[in-house]
Structure 1
């Protein structure tokens, strides 16, 4: 992002995974491989994956239907719900120390929002994690508003999901920055007129990334 743009930024929309909350796609790939899914690079990867995951992230299918899809892909109807959930949740690592404090500092300077592609299984896991590790009920204290794909029935990079956030909060796209670690999501945000910043570093470096871009 050009430094000059920071002069007009008033709002920041954050992605969650690998911007705030560390996730590890390889761990999930390995776990799914252990369940018996052979073509794992085609089935589940960072930049592309089976439509089963898109459907789950937009609540087009239920957790039970998602698990059935995993069983079909693994060609193993004997996989338990617990085995599937454990494999699916294995990519969720956690929030590095200090990141929540950084977000609170950012919130003092900008209107801030969360926009995450997620699903019911991961969402419930994260709520439990936040309660267990930080005594937080959810992310509502960190942002003006938090948006989750499965509650919106939309997912990034669909331009409609960005337009909904813009519309509901009366944001000026020219004054709004979107931060995400996925290039394809960045492209969707650009179509909605947003300024964008691709996160290419570990979430523990979020503060440094914001400082280097003259946002903090």
Structure 2
């Protein structure tokens, strides 16, 4: 790996554990059929892309889920609970690892996210870690629904690079989704595929001589 000065982290399954299978089961219970086509790690219905880029509101997202379900009487609360079942949490010591990395590099967060998940995560961070949000862990945190762009499109990477005057070749992007690394590579960045559980983040960084 060439000399790096900047690191951009993905959030889900790099820092924060998420469980697609758990969310799939919850959506099936809501009456969603063909779940592997509707919602999976590597592909999903366009409603999720639209929600992650702020193209639709939470109310429109819930209406879309209800439309795709065989049960038209599901409530907003049931939909939110099923959708948020994806979210597990941050393993012990991961925040401390991020602060160590921040001492050595300029660090950023780049997450495909949405308003329902973002609000749940903010409440979780307050409840479990007494943190207002993620802002203290990075120089800046970027979320797709606020940028109106999402990974793996190269434009989202180019925007982060440009806004922070980052040289692509000196910038490492870490993500658990191979398809997202393609966009980062197209933008000229170095990439690292996270294949281990987030609790092993420090171990992975040490293996690659980042820490």
Does residue 159 of structure 1 match 2:154?
Answer: yes
Residue 44 of structure 1, CA deviation: 0.1
2:195 maps to 200
Q: Residue 116 of structure 1 is aligned with which of 111, 114, 135?
A: 111
- Structure 1: runs of 5+ lacking an equivalent: none
CA distance in 1, matches of 2:59, 2:74: 12
Does residue 125 of structure 1 match 2:112?
Answer: no
Name the TM-score, length of structure 2 as normaliser. 0.99
| Aligned partner of residue 109 in structure 2, secondary structure | strand
Q: Residue 19 of structure 2 is aligned with which of 13, 20, 24?
A: 24
Q: Residue 94 of structure 1 is aligned with which of 89, 101, 122?
A: 89
Backbone CA RMSD of aligned residues: 0.5
2:100 maps to 105
CA distance in 2, matches of 1:200, 1:50: 25
- Structure 2: runs of 5+ lacking an equivalent: none
1:135 maps to 130
CA distance in 2, matches of 1:57, 1:208: 30
| Aligned partner of residue 174 in structure 2, secondary structure | strand
